[in-house]
Structure 1
Amino acid sequence: MLKCLHYSQLTQLNRAMKKKYISLPLFFILVFSFYIDGFSQCTYQHKLDSIVQLLDMPGAKFSIIYQDGRQENYATGYSDSIRKERMNLQHVMFSGSIGKTYAAAVLYQLVEEGKVDLKEKFFNYCKGECWLSKLPNIGDITVEMLLQHTSGLPRYIENEQLWIDIKNNPDKVWSYKDRLQYAFDMEAVHKAGEGWAYSDTNYLLIGMLIEKVTGMDYYEVVNARILAPLDFKETYGATRRDVPRLPIGYSGLEDFFHMPKQMVVEGRYAFNPQMEWTGGGYASTTSDLAKWAKFYYEALPFSNETLQKIVTPNPHGVLSEYDSYGMGSFIFKSAHGKAYGHTGFVPGFRSIFLYYPEQKIAVAFQTNCDTYKGKMTLLHCVDEILKAEF
């Protein structure tokens, strides 16, 4: 439990320190610094508590990393609302589409190593997979378009049959074709390179490309190139239903998804999350997610030149006056200035990680529900929490 230092405590400390002959000016500098830091921590906890109550979320977690590398982590609410078990800092949650940034980071490394060309047609790397020709636009899509979401590929998860099949066979282990076949009979959203439409299908193809070029399993590649070198100890590949320290995720999704209200029962998720793969594919603490935001947007895994491509809106990526998309990242206009980041969703969980380039602050927020009261977005939630900082 974080505690604030109140005025009465300051007075008592002051008297004690006088007896020790410490100079008052130095003492007040030290105590004032401690007071401000404690006040900030109390405010973050209070803001997080208030948001969870306001939006009727079961629980949530929040982490922040300052410019100097200091990190603070917070949790509130319940991991199990029925049993009244508290959310804690050790709980991990599925981070959804934030996982796309791991795939993007690995692909950028392969580009910088000369093993992949962004301007090359994707199909040229996977000519042996003839069944890919059933995907719309496939012959015209470049690697760059996949990263930018400008390929025109439809979202395979918008085929209701996928969710019916998941419900009927929750333990299924999914192959490339198993996932992508749900997009075979769907129309292209637009011609390749002539528009923007967010699609998980793009990143499934990026995962295929990574495995074809490296000759390794995708999760092994990410672990070797990203997770192990950067010392992520609380990030797990979502490859099994019994992910450790997973809280209950609560779902209010429409009937289209065919999902239960409680997505975790006795520690097991409602279906095999391996289905998501490079469309997301990870579970993490907010502590690790905030660290990943700091590393990703300070160009640790790749060059500054690559980072500029990531955070510069692509030709079709200006979505509104408030948000745009570069090449593996959203660019948001937040209440506190420009922010780079990504959101994530899987049934029962929502996440966001953000980096504020002007302040060099990284944050992450997660909640164990996919719907909640009110119209606040996750970005708005973080904006509200950060009022104490800005």
Structure 2
Amino acid sequence: MIKAGGCWKHLIFGLCLSASSLGLSASGLAMNAEAQDLGAIEQAISAVLAEYGASEHPTTYVGASVALRLSDDRTITVVAGDADREADIEMRTDHRLLGGSMGKTFVAAALMALVEDGRVALDERAAQYLGGQDWFDPLPNAAEVTLEQLLNHSSGIPIDYFETEPIREALRLSAVENRDFAGHGLTHQDLLRPLGGLEPLFEPGEAFHYSDANYTIIAFVVEHISGQTLEAFVDERFIQPLGLTETERQRREMPRLTAAYMHQRFQQTFPGVPTKAGEYERLTYDPAFEWGGGGWVFTARDLARWGDAWFSGEALSDEYLDLMRASLNHHGAADNDWSYGIGLQWQETGDGLERWYHGGYDPGSIGKVEYRPADDVTLAIMFNTVDIRYERIGDAIWNAVLPLLESD
């Protein structure tokens, strides 16, 4: 919901009365013109979702939630499809979806907030805070890796923990036998134990390899230094001040959480999790396996608000935004020319501009939040269907709305 044209207007089904019927002043007419501009953008987003949601399209979804946050802080929200197809529940703007690795932005923000406070430095070794613990010392490069190298995935850790058999089995049991990780006797430390003793891919800082393990180690550092849980620190430092009222740590059962649908090809990665990975407001598996690797739920509106704050530098000072961007690991054409910094990804657009973003997925949910600094606009796209071609929808939305923003 936004206030436009002198009345509350729902961006899907709402209707505002005309300015003349309300006897509005000149300023009221200007507001109504703004509403018309927002309506054109809304229609453009809806048209893209309708095209890609058609059953004959190779990239399809069950439900979609999209939010576009403009440079003047107005936000357009558009939804399509179903929150739960079998239960006949249509997607609404207040429905929430799992953010997957987009939650890494919160983990990075927490560590960078401690850097900003002068309580830790990026070039310090993780072992300074975690060394001597039986789960940490056997990890690849544990004695040498710095916090910055963990944050930009240059630690040399060779695989992700959900690729190991103990964690895969715990995930399977959570789905098949309804046993949560805690009930299975697993702690957050146990997520990392299966990586102990593995040979590193490379020396710290020499290359790039993405792994949730890097951010789980950072989460432990945040808790060690702050004396708070990761959840409490992020909530106090970012979620509450920014008014992200629909954002919280993910749990198996949550109000207004959409159902989750997973393509069969992902069942090798997540054994035991069915293709319908969650009913409405209840997942079939325990999402606690992600923890420091992501682990928050959002509405698209909240995600766009957070993405705007994180990528534009509002969440921290410009000095620390520069640090995050300076830490980029650069890649080649085989990686679509994208780079990973501290809780952010960078890529040059086709027209020579830049975008800062982060994507993420969990079994049955996928999305991306992207900031275009040239336009000071943030787009959040979230789907309750895992399809690796979802980024095409995001690019199509950008192509549809950017011309309208230029004429606004």
Instruction: Settle same-fold status: TM greater than 0.5.
Output: yes
CA distance in 2, matches of 1:376, 1:301: 25
Equivalent residue number for residue 322 of structure 1: 337
Q: Which amino acid aligns with 1:233?
A: T
CA distance in 1, matches of 2:77, 2:319: 31
Alignment CA distance shift 1:133-1:48 (3 Å): same
Q: Which amino acid aligns with 1:272?
A: D
CA distance in 1, matches of 2:212, 2:48: 33
Equivalent residue number for residue 48 of structure 2: 47
Alignment CA distance shift 1:250-1:384 (3 Å): farther
Contact residue 47 and residue 384 of structure 1 kept, 8 A: no
Q: Which amino acid aligns with 2:143?
A: G
Whether 2:295 is the aligned partner of 1:281: answer yes
What secondary structure does 2:330 align onto?
coil
Whether 2:138 is the aligned partner of 1:107: answer no
Aligned-CA RMSD value: 2.9
Whether 2:270 is the aligned partner of 1:269: answer no
Q: How big is the shift at 1:121?
A: 1.0
Residues 169-221 of structure 1: per-residue CA shift (max 9 Å, x gap): 44122423210012125332221111111111000000000110011111111
- List runs of 5+ in structure 2 lacking aligned partners: 1-9
Q: Where in structure 2 are the equivalents of 1:335-350 lying within 5 Å?
A: 335=350, 337-350=353-366
Q: How big is the shift at 1:225?
A: 0.8
Q: How big is the shift at 1:379?
A: 4.5
Q: 2:168 aligns with which of 152, 163, 171?
A: 163
Q: Where in structure 2 are the equivalents of 1:205-220 lying within 5 Å?
A: 205-220=217-232
Q: Which amino acid aligns with 1:355?
A: Y
Task: Name the larger-Rg structure.
Answer: 1
What secondary structure does 1:139 align onto?
coil
Equivalent residue number for residue 8 of structure 1: none
Contact residue 312 and residue 325 of structure 1 kept, 8 A: no
CA distance in 1, matches of 2:332, 2:297: 28
CA distance in 2, matches of 1:380, 1:368: 18
Alignment CA distance shift 1:77-1:138 (3 Å): same
Whether 2:374 is the aligned partner of 1:369: answer no
Q: How big is the shift at 1:64?
A: 0.7
Contact residue 313 and residue 324 of structure 1 kept, 8 A: no
Q: Where in structure 2 are the equivalents of 1:68-107 lying within 5 Å?
A: 68-107=72-111
CA distance in 2, matches of 1:262, 1:27: 48
Alignment CA distance shift 1:128-1:100 (3 Å): same
Equivalent residue number for residue 7 of structure 2: none
Alignment CA distance shift 1:90-1:34 (3 Å): closer
Contact residue 295 and residue 301 of structure 1 kept, 8 A: yes
CA distance in 2, matches of 1:92, 1:346: 13
CA distance in 2, matches of 1:30, 1:279: 42
Contact residue 61 and residue 76 of structure 1 kept, 8 A: yes
Q: Where in structure 2 are the equivalents of 1:351-390 lying within 5 Å?
A: 351-371=367-387, 377=392, 379-387=394-402, 388-389=404-405
Q: Which amino acid aligns with 2:68?
A: I
What secondary structure does 2:45 align onto?
helix
Whether 2:306 is the aligned partner of 1:295: answer no
Alignment CA distance shift 1:29-1:193 (3 Å): closer
Q: Which amino acid aligns with 2:66?
A: F
Q: 1:229 aligns with which of 215, 225, 241?
A: 241
Identity across matched positions, percent? 26
Alignment CA distance shift 1:386-1:175 (3 Å): farther
Q: Where in structure 2 are the equivalents of 1:46-195 lying within 5 Å?
A: 46-53=47-54, 54=57, 55-154=59-158, 155-169=160-174, 170-173=179-182, 174-195=186-207
Alignment CA distance shift 1:67-1:178 (3 Å): same
Q: How big is the shift at 1:159?
A: 1.8
CA distance in 2, matches of 1:234, 1:228: 10
Alignment CA distance shift 1:87-1:152 (3 Å): same
Q: How big is the shift at 1:57?
A: 0.6
CA distance in 1, matches of 2:293, 2:337: 24
Equivalent residue number for residue 10 of structure 1: none
Q: Which amino acid aligns with 2:87?
A: R
Contact residue 151 and residue 193 of structure 1 kept, 8 A: yes
Equivalent residue number for residue 268 of structure 2: 255
Contact residue 354 and residue 364 of structure 1 kept, 8 A: yes
Alignment CA distance shift 1:368-1:121 (3 Å): same
Moved more, 165-174 or 64-73: 165-174
Q: How big is the shift at 1:83?
A: 3.1
Moved more, 181-190 or 76-85: 181-190
Q: How big is the shift at 1:327?
A: 1.8
What secondary structure does 2:302 align onto?
helix
Contact residue 64 and residue 91 of structure 2 kept, 8 A: yes
TM-score, with structure 1 as normaliser: 0.88
The number of residue pairs the alignment matches comes to 376
Q: Which amino acid aligns with 1:357?
A: P
Moved more, 376-385 or 154-163: 376-385
What secondary structure does 1:157 align onto?
helix
What secondary structure does 1:72 align onto?
strand
Contact residue 234 and residue 285 of structure 1 kept, 8 A: yes
- List runs of 5+ in structure 1 lacking aligned partners: 5-12
Alignment CA distance shift 1:319-1:307 (3 Å): farther
CA distance in 1, matches of 2:386, 2:125: 36
CA distance in 2, matches of 1:313, 1:127: 24
Whether 2:231 is the aligned partner of 1:204: answer no
Alignment CA distance shift 1:175-1:70 (3 Å): same
